Amino acid sequence: METEPAILYTRMEQDGAAWAEISLNRPEKGNALTIPMIERLAALATTIEADGSLRAVVIRGRGRFFCTGGDIAAWGALSPREMARDWILPGIQAFGRIASLPQPVIAALSGHALGGGLELALAADLRIAVRSARLGVPEAALGVIPGWMGVGRLAETIGVARARHMALLGLAITAAQALDWGLVTAVAEDDADLEAQLGAWLGKLCTNAPASMALIKGILGAMHGDSRHHHSSAVAEAAGTEDCREGVRAFLEKRKPVFRNR
C-alpha cells in the first residue's frame, strides 16, 4: 500500500477564487517536522509564490496536533555544526519563505502547537485555534532554544515580557490566553466552528485586492532584521552543551532531565 507523503498540498477553488492548503500529515508522530518536511515546505513556498491566481494559504495539521515541533530523531544526534547547517538554517529559510509569501497565510490550529510547530504558526499572518489547543515553546526543558526564529517572532507578536514568560518557563498556554495575548486572533469552539470561521476569513481574503495585501505584507516584513546566522550560531552553541545531550537522553528515556549548567 502506498504511503501518503508527510506534507500534503491541495489547490482549492470556490466561487472562482483559489487558495492553497498545506497539511502536515504525520499524525502518528504529532506532525513532528523532519528535514524532508522542511525541504518540502520551502519547495511549496516557491510553487505558491509563482502562482498569481492563489489568493491565500492555509496551513493545518492532521490528527490531534497541529505540530509538536522538530522530530527529536531528526536532530538529537546532530553535531553543533550539523545542527546549524542542516537543521536550523534550512528551517529558518523555509519558514522565512512562508512568512514572505505575497499571499496571506493562515495557520489553522486544530490541536496543540508546540516548539517548532508554534514557530511554523508564527510564520503565518493569521492564526486561529480550537479552544482545546495549547501553544508553547518548551525547548529550554530540553537544553536547546527555539531554532527557527521563533523567539523573535513571538516577541514581535505578543511583546517581550510575555515572550519571556513563555520561553523561559517553557509552559504551554491555553487558546483563550493566546487570544488575550494576541498570539491567535480567533478561538473556535470545535473543529466545525474552526472551519466556519476559516471559511469566512478565506471568503474575505479572496475578495480583497491581491496587490494591496502583498504590499501590506511587504511593509510589515521590512520590520524584520536579518539575524539568521546569529540565531543559528546560538542554537549550535546550545546544542553543543552537556545539558542539551542530557535533555535529549532524558526525553528519549522518558525521565526528568538533570541539568548541570555545562
| Catalytic residue positions, numbered | 119, 139
Nearest to 70 by CA among 108, 37, 93, 40: 37
Q: Which residues contact 69 (CB under 8 A, 6 or more apart)?
A: 32, 33, 114, 115, 116, 117, 118, 119
Tell me how many helices (H) and strands (E) the chain has: 12, 10
Nearest to 90 by CA among 43, 137, 136: 43
The rounded distance, in Å, linking the Cα atoms of 57 and 150 is: 20
**Separation of first and last alpha carbons in the chain:** 48
CB-based contact 166:181 (threshold 8 Å): no
